[in-house]
Structure 1
Amino acid sequence: MTRKIPGLHHVTAISGPPQANLAFYTGRLRQRLVKKTVNFDDPGTYHLYYGDSAGSPGTILTFFPFADAGPGRAGPGMASAYAYAVPKGGFDGWMESLALDAVDFDGPTERFGQRVLTLRDPDGAPVELVETARDSDAPLDGFHSVTLWESDIAPTARLLTEIFGYVETGHETAGGTERLRLQAPGDARGAVIDLMRSDAPSIGRQGAGTIHHIAFRAETDAIQRDWMDKLASAGHPTTPVIDRQYFNAIYFREPGGVLFEIATDPPGFAVDEDPAHLGEALMLPAKYEPYRDRIEKVLPPLQVAR
């Protein structure tokens, strides 16, 4: 059987001060803080994970919140937006609640036959809400898609279709912006990737309000190893497997420059916490436990609404 990517595992972004970020994503967007840990490469900084109640793949948005981060700017070679899926019948309710709370948003506009509205998080990052026909009791049913801003759409499209198994489902051009929609087979969350080319001049810069990388799903460690071999054979060698505590990860840059990750579903976010209490305590990998007191003194306190 030809292996295919089912969709996104998570998206990782950069923010400014963590408290404002936490308040927006757990309050305004009604996501659960499923893990409070540290940047494994910089333990003086949080790594915050938001998702559905179980921390399911395809719902996870993570942040490196740097209190002194300068503003970033999306441009070619970067992922430029993430979009949440609004369940069937919920889109008008979102517009009404945002309007009643005097929250500015753009839209609704129409994209590939679906209504889309865009609001901004505390760092100015665009957060898209897309109307879908999915049935769910959740206010947002994980990711709908991400947008990759490319100088040339074609090489990235070939990678996604010929290697990952995505199929083209739409193409739109309006106002100097070209958008190609690709979709993974099946009905997993986060199955859509939009490739965008724009005539608007922009030089991308990593910083607060930008996306660091996107991660695709590998259902098991064995499947991840298969992807390593397949990508290497196709001229896209990856890093070795890196243990990220809640999943194993491999990384490579796609032809347009966006950092891609393939992350495993197991072991998941309940590996070190009771599922009923995800995100309540600061969880550290074993190598940092001897330094817990020092780390906790450096990290700013966070107020998490229950």
Structure 2
Amino acid sequence: MELKGIHHVSALTANAKHNYDFYTHILGMRLVKKTINQDDPSVYHLFYADEAGNPGTDLTFFEIPHAGTTYQGVGSISGTSLRVSSDDALEFWNHRFSEFDIDHDGITEQGGRKVIHFRDPEGQRLTLVSDETNIGVKGGKTWVHSSVPADMGVIGLGPTKLTVKNPTPTIAVLTEILTFEQTGSYSSIVDGQDDILVFSTGEGGTGAEVHIETRDDLPKERPGRGSVHHVAFRVENEEELAAWKDRLVAARIPNSGLVDRFYFKSLYFREPNGILFELATDGPGFATDEDSDHLGESLALPPLFEDRRTEIEARLKPLDTKRPRD
């Protein structure tokens, strides 16, 4: 068994409408699923991805309308990366962020790759990373109707950064349980802190990395709007997912057991620093209940919730996501 890379990252927003506007109109990603938080059907769960919602391209958001401020710290997923195809694409984004007054740090270098660190309007910590030299997991395909030119658009998720006080137990889970191995490191921008360590799985590259930052100068993070809820890693199918459950049980790691999310099967557990990990299957995918040309345009409900549609829709604030037709 070997994990194939990043499957998706799920974060928190306090306003689904503003979130939708930013990630579709500014970042040019496609909303591939407008559904509900299956653990709390009174709020939206929005999925942004590439053209088809391929695994490894999904950045998702739970809407928590009264979410408070995030107080950054350790025990957190402190950075989410989005891949673009080239260094030239970063030049495009550098100008675009300035044009739209998006908080960003300009083009810099991180671990041998060019990047742009930036924040969404709620302070979500994001990075655009260039795939100019990537030889690992391939990116997805930008949506033909994106507001961003196809050769400049987001093609998937890049490295996920974890910030912890004590990296040793987290590293043990990544390397001894989850098939990651250390493949590099780079200097922290914070004086007096250890290098940030790079761990890869599967084919490696930008779509299959976890970066671990050690910070001894921060309290534990208090999550809110603009924070990340969990990161999910790719598993081939349900049979392999069941084998991962057995592996976690053998290692005495408490876990959720297999959970049917309809669009994929999942398994959840927390690593020793309290960060929530998910293992998720590549299929069946987002076209299971919607035509691929109309993904994300209507409220999609898994069969378990369909008989409650009227009740659920009445509790959700309307969110118009239908794409205008030519």
What TM bracket, shorter-length normalisation?
over 0.9
| Residues 131 and 206, structure 2, Cα contact 8 Å, conserved in 1 | no
Whether 1:158 aligns to 2:157 is no
1:264 equivalent in structure 2 = 281
Q: How does 1:22-41 map to 2 (within 5 A)?
A: 22-41=20-39
- For structure 1, the 5+ residue unaligned runs are none
| Residues 77 and 204, structure 1, Cα contact 8 Å, conserved in 2 | yes
**Corresponding letter in the other structure for 1:159:** V
| Residues 105 and 117, structure 1, Cα contact 8 Å, conserved in 2 | yes
**Cα distance in structure 1, aligned partners of 2:82 and 2:270:** 24
Query: TM-score, normalising length from structure 2?
Result: 0.88
**Corresponding letter in the other structure for 1:119:** F
2:295 equivalent in structure 1 = 278
CA positional deviation for 1:138: 5.9
**Cα distance in structure 1, aligned partners of 2:288 and 2:72:** 34
Q: Secondary structure at the match of 1:302?
A: coil
| Residues 298 and 321, structure 2, Cα contact 8 Å, conserved in 1 | no
1:119 equivalent in structure 2 = 118
Instruction: Go from structure 1 to structure 2 and tell me whether the alpha carbon gap of 1:111 and 1:79 turns closer, same or farther (over 3 Å shift).
Output: same
2:127 equivalent in structure 1 = 128
1:251 equivalent in structure 2 = 268
The match for 2:230 among 210, 213, 217 is 213
CA positional deviation for 1:305: 6.6
> What RMSD, in angstroms, separates the aligned Cα atoms of the two structures?
1.8
2:89 equivalent in structure 1 = 90
For residues 34-69 of structure 1, the C-alpha deviation after alignment (integer angstroms, 9 at most, x for no partner) is 111111121110111110110111111111112221
**Corresponding letter in the other structure for 2:153:** P
Whether 1:177 aligns to 2:193 is yes
**Cα distance in structure 2, aligned partners of 1:172 and 1:278:** 39
Which range moves more in the overlay, 178-187 or 204-213?
178-187
Query: TM-score, normalising length from structure 1?
Result: 0.93
**Corresponding letter in the other structure for 1:240:** G
| Residues 180 and 196, structure 1, Cα contact 8 Å, conserved in 2 | yes
Instruction: Go from structure 1 to structure 2 and tell me whether the alpha carbon gap of 1:119 and 1:173 turns closer, same or farther (over 3 Å shift).
Output: closer
Aligned length in residues: 304
Runs of 4 or more, structure 1, over 6 Å off, are none
**Cα distance in structure 2, aligned partners of 1:234 and 1:132:** 36
**Corresponding letter in the other structure for 2:183:** T
Which range moves more in the overlay, 6-15 or 201-210?
201-210
- For structure 2, the 5+ residue unaligned runs are 142-150
**Corresponding letter in the other structure for 1:205:** R
CA positional deviation for 1:187: 5.0
Q: Secondary structure at the match of 2:243?
A: helix
The match for 2:219 among 202, 209, 232 is 202
Instruction: Go from structure 1 to structure 2 and tell me whether the alpha carbon gap of 1:81 and 1:305 turns closer, same or farther (over 3 Å shift).
Output: farther
**Cα distance in structure 1, aligned partners of 2:203 and 2:103:** 34
Which range moves more in the overlay, 287-296 or 81-90?
287-296
2:74 equivalent in structure 1 = 76
**Cα distance in structure 1, aligned partners of 2:218 and 2:163:** 12
| Residues 30 and 48, structure 2, Cα contact 8 Å, conserved in 1 | yes
| Residues 32 and 53, structure 1, Cα contact 8 Å, conserved in 2 | yes
The match for 1:8 among 6, 9, 15 is 6
**Cα distance in structure 2, aligned partners of 1:252 and 1:236:** 7
For residues 214-269 of structure 1, the C-alpha deviation after alignment (integer angstroms, 9 at most, x for no partner) is 11111100111111112222232421111111011111111221011101111111
**Cα distance in structure 1, aligned partners of 2:8 and 2:242:** 19
CA positional deviation for 1:21: 0.5
Q: Secondary structure at the match of 1:301?
A: coil
**Cα distance in structure 2, aligned partners of 1:172 and 1:188:** 15
| Residues 58 and 188, structure 1, Cα contact 8 Å, conserved in 2 | no
Counting aligned pairs with the same residue, the percent is 40
**Corresponding letter in the other structure for 2:294:** H
2:208 equivalent in structure 1 = 191
1:140 equivalent in structure 2 = 154
**Cα distance in structure 1, aligned partners of 2:21 and 2:42:** 21
**Cα distance in structure 1, aligned partners of 2:322 and 2:103:** 23
